[in-house]
Amino acid sequence: MAYLRYHETERLFTAWPYLQDLLDCLSLDVMAAKAKGALGTAEDYIYSMVIGNKVLSDMPPAGKISDSTGNIAENYRKLMKYDRKTVKREINIDIIEVSLVISKLQIAYRRLSFLQRRVLELYYWQELSWKEIAEALKHDDLYYSVRQIQERRRTGIEKMTGVLMVTIEAYEYVVGLVSVDCE
Protein backbone atom coordinates (compact mmCIF):
# COMPACT_ATOMS: atom_id res chain seq x y z
CA MET A 1 0.00 0.00 0.00
CA ALA A 2 1.44 3.37 -1.01
CA TYR A 3 1.36 6.29 1.42
CA LEU A 4 1.93 10.00 0.98
CA ARG A 5 5.31 11.47 0.25
CA TYR A 6 6.65 14.89 1.22
CA HIS A 7 5.10 16.97 -1.59
CA GLU A 8 1.70 15.28 -1.22
CA THR A 9 1.74 16.01 2.51
CA GLU A 10 2.45 19.66 1.67
CA ARG A 11 -0.50 19.80 -0.68
CA LEU A 12 -2.77 18.05 1.80
CA PHE A 13 -1.74 20.43 4.57
CA THR A 14 -2.51 23.37 2.28
CA ALA A 15 -5.92 21.86 1.46
CA TRP A 16 -6.80 21.19 5.10
CA PRO A 17 -8.94 24.35 5.63
CA TYR A 18 -10.80 23.59 2.39
CA LEU A 19 -11.37 20.00 3.51
CA GLN A 20 -12.83 21.22 6.79
CA ASP A 21 -15.18 23.57 4.91
CA LEU A 22 -16.14 20.74 2.57
CA LEU A 23 -16.90 18.47 5.52
CA ASP A 24 -19.13 21.16 7.01
CA CYS A 25 -21.01 21.54 3.71
CA LEU A 26 -21.43 17.78 3.28
CA SER A 27 -22.79 17.50 6.81
CA LEU A 28 -25.32 20.22 6.04
CA ASP A 29 -26.31 18.37 2.86
CA VAL A 30 -27.01 15.22 4.86
CA MET A 31 -29.08 17.17 7.36
CA ALA A 32 -31.03 18.80 4.53
CA ALA A 33 -31.59 15.45 2.84
CA LYS A 34 -32.95 13.99 6.08
CA ALA A 35 -35.16 17.02 6.71
CA LYS A 36 -36.91 17.38 3.37
CA GLY A 37 -35.44 14.95 0.86
CA ALA A 38 -32.50 15.77 -1.34
CA LEU A 39 -34.56 15.84 -4.52
CA GLY A 40 -37.71 17.59 -3.31
CA THR A 41 -41.11 16.00 -2.74
CA ALA A 42 -42.31 12.93 -4.60
CA GLU A 43 -44.93 15.04 -6.35
CA ASP A 44 -42.33 17.56 -7.55
CA TYR A 45 -40.14 14.78 -8.88
CA ILE A 46 -42.98 12.97 -10.62
CA TYR A 47 -44.22 16.22 -12.10
CA SER A 48 -40.79 17.14 -13.45
CA MET A 49 -40.20 13.67 -14.88
CA VAL A 50 -43.69 13.09 -16.34
CA ILE A 51 -44.48 16.61 -17.47
CA GLY A 52 -40.93 17.76 -18.08
CA ASN A 53 -40.83 20.08 -21.06
CA LYS A 54 -44.20 19.04 -22.49
CA VAL A 55 -46.77 21.62 -23.50
CA LEU A 56 -50.38 21.61 -22.34
CA SER A 57 -51.62 20.20 -25.66
CA ASP A 58 -49.58 17.03 -24.97
CA MET A 59 -51.38 16.41 -21.67
CA PRO A 60 -54.20 13.90 -21.46
CA PRO A 61 -57.60 15.40 -20.72
CA ALA A 62 -58.56 15.69 -17.04
CA GLY A 63 -59.98 12.48 -15.60
CA LYS A 64 -58.54 10.37 -18.44
CA ILE A 65 -55.34 9.09 -16.90
CA SER A 66 -54.43 5.74 -18.36
CA ASP A 67 -52.89 2.85 -16.47
CA SER A 68 -49.62 3.53 -18.27
CA THR A 69 -49.57 7.06 -16.83
CA GLY A 70 -50.09 5.66 -13.34
CA ASN A 71 -47.35 3.10 -13.93
CA ILE A 72 -45.00 5.83 -15.13
CA ALA A 73 -45.76 7.90 -12.03
CA GLU A 74 -45.15 4.93 -9.72
CA ASN A 75 -41.91 4.03 -11.51
CA TYR A 76 -40.70 7.61 -11.10
CA ARG A 77 -41.63 7.55 -7.43
CA LYS A 78 -39.47 4.42 -7.01
CA LEU A 79 -36.67 6.00 -9.06
CA MET A 80 -36.80 9.13 -6.91
CA LYS A 81 -36.50 7.05 -3.74
CA TYR A 82 -33.53 5.21 -5.25
CA ASP A 83 -31.94 8.51 -6.34
CA ARG A 84 -32.36 9.96 -2.86
CA LYS A 85 -30.70 6.91 -1.30
CA THR A 86 -27.87 7.07 -3.84
CA VAL A 87 -27.27 10.76 -3.16
CA LYS A 88 -27.21 10.17 0.61
CA ARG A 89 -24.85 7.20 0.18
CA GLU A 90 -22.45 9.21 -1.98
CA ILE A 91 -22.47 12.13 0.44
CA ASN A 92 -21.85 9.78 3.36
CA ILE A 93 -18.89 8.19 1.54
CA ASP A 94 -17.45 11.66 0.97
CA ILE A 95 -17.97 12.52 4.64
CA ILE A 96 -16.21 9.37 5.79
CA GLU A 97 -13.22 9.88 3.48
CA VAL A 98 -12.80 13.56 4.32
CA SER A 99 -13.30 12.96 8.06
CA LEU A 100 -10.68 10.23 8.06
CA VAL A 101 -8.10 12.43 6.35
CA ILE A 102 -8.88 15.42 8.60
CA SER A 103 -8.56 13.24 11.71
CA LYS A 104 -5.18 11.97 10.55
CA LEU A 105 -4.07 15.52 9.77
CA GLN A 106 -5.07 16.61 13.29
CA ILE A 107 -3.13 13.73 14.86
CA ALA A 108 -0.02 14.47 12.78
CA TYR A 109 -0.32 18.21 13.43
CA ARG A 110 -0.45 17.68 17.20
CA ARG A 111 2.87 15.82 16.99
CA LEU A 112 4.64 18.96 15.79
CA SER A 113 6.33 21.51 18.02
CA PHE A 114 4.68 24.88 18.50
CA LEU A 115 7.29 26.52 16.24
CA GLN A 116 6.79 23.95 13.47
CA ARG A 117 3.01 24.40 13.59
CA ARG A 118 3.32 28.19 13.49
CA VAL A 119 5.77 28.13 10.57
CA LEU A 120 3.50 25.78 8.59
CA GLU A 121 0.44 27.94 9.28
CA LEU A 122 2.19 31.14 8.23
CA TYR A 123 3.80 29.62 5.14
CA TYR A 124 0.97 27.46 3.77
CA TRP A 125 -2.22 29.09 5.03
CA GLN A 126 -1.27 32.76 5.25
CA GLU A 127 1.21 32.50 2.36
CA LEU A 128 3.79 34.77 3.97
CA SER A 129 7.31 35.06 2.59
CA TRP A 130 10.25 33.69 4.55
CA LYS A 131 11.24 37.16 5.71
CA GLU A 132 7.68 37.93 6.80
CA ILE A 133 7.58 34.69 8.78
CA ALA A 134 10.90 35.53 10.46
CA GLU A 135 9.50 38.93 11.40
CA ALA A 136 6.23 37.43 12.68
CA LEU A 137 8.14 34.97 14.89
CA LYS A 138 10.56 37.55 16.27
CA HIS A 139 9.90 38.54 19.86
CA ASP A 140 12.02 39.71 22.79
CA ASP A 141 15.47 38.17 22.52
CA LEU A 142 14.43 35.37 20.17
CA TYR A 143 15.18 35.60 16.46
CA TYR A 144 14.99 32.90 13.80
CA SER A 145 16.88 33.15 10.55
CA VAL A 146 15.22 32.33 7.25
CA ARG A 147 17.33 29.16 7.11
CA GLN A 148 16.10 28.05 10.56
CA ILE A 149 12.49 28.69 9.56
CA GLN A 150 12.89 26.76 6.32
CA GLU A 151 14.37 23.88 8.31
CA ARG A 152 11.38 23.91 10.71
CA ARG A 153 9.03 23.75 7.74
CA ARG A 154 10.92 20.84 6.18
CA THR A 155 11.14 18.85 9.42
CA GLY A 156 7.50 19.60 10.21
CA ILE A 157 6.28 18.27 6.86
CA GLU A 158 8.59 15.25 7.16
CA LYS A 159 7.23 14.49 10.62
CA MET A 160 3.66 14.81 9.41
CA THR A 161 4.41 12.56 6.43
CA GLY A 162 5.63 9.86 8.79
CA VAL A 163 2.62 10.09 11.06
CA LEU A 164 -0.20 10.65 8.52
CA MET A 165 -0.32 7.20 6.91
CA VAL A 166 -2.85 8.42 4.35
CA THR A 167 -2.97 6.24 1.24
CA ILE A 168 -2.42 7.72 -2.19
CA GLU A 169 -5.97 6.67 -3.14
CA ALA A 170 -7.52 8.51 -0.18
CA TYR A 171 -5.34 11.54 -0.89
CA GLU A 172 -6.37 11.70 -4.55
CA TYR A 173 -10.02 11.27 -3.60
CA VAL A 174 -10.17 14.11 -1.07
CA VAL A 175 -7.89 16.50 -2.98
CA GLY A 176 -10.06 15.85 -6.03
CA LEU A 177 -13.11 16.92 -4.01
CA VAL A 178 -11.65 20.31 -3.14
CA SER A 179 -9.64 20.76 -6.36
CA VAL A 180 -6.95 22.82 -4.67
CA ASP A 181 -4.14 23.94 -6.89
CA CYS A 182 -1.21 24.38 -4.55
CA GLU A 183 1.51 24.70 -7.15
Number of domains composing the chain: 1
Letter string b/e over residues 86-124, b meaning 16 or more CB atoms within 10 A of that residue's CB = ebbeebeebbebbeebbebbeebbeebeebbebbbebbb
Determine the structural domain holding residue 171 and report its residue range: 6-178
Residue 84 within a domain? yes
- Spatial contact of 8 and 170, defined as CB atoms under 8 Å apart: no
Residue 58 within a domain? yes
Residue 183 within a domain? no
- Spatial contact of 95 and 31, defined as CB atoms under 8 Å apart: no
Residue 21 within a domain? yes
State residue 141's pLDDT score.
74
State residue 69's pLDDT score.
62
Q: What is the pTM of this model?
A: 0.72
> How far is it, in rounded angstroms, from Cα 162 to Cα 160?
5
State residue 63's pLDDT score.
53
State residue 88's pLDDT score.
80
Q: At 67, phi and psi to the nearest 5? A: -60, -35
> How far is it, in rounded angstroms, from Cα 3 to Cα 163?
10
Say how many CA atoms lie within 13 Å of 126 toward its Cβ: 13
Residue 15 within a domain? yes
3-state SS assignment for residue 145: coil
| 183 residues of the chain, pLDDT tens digit each | 899 999 999 999 999 999 999 999 888 887 777 765 545 566 665 566 555 555 555 555 555 555 666 666 667 667 766 777 787 888 889 999 999 999 999 999 999 999 999 999 999 999 999 999 999 998 867 889 999 999 999 999 999 999 999 999 999 999 998 874 444
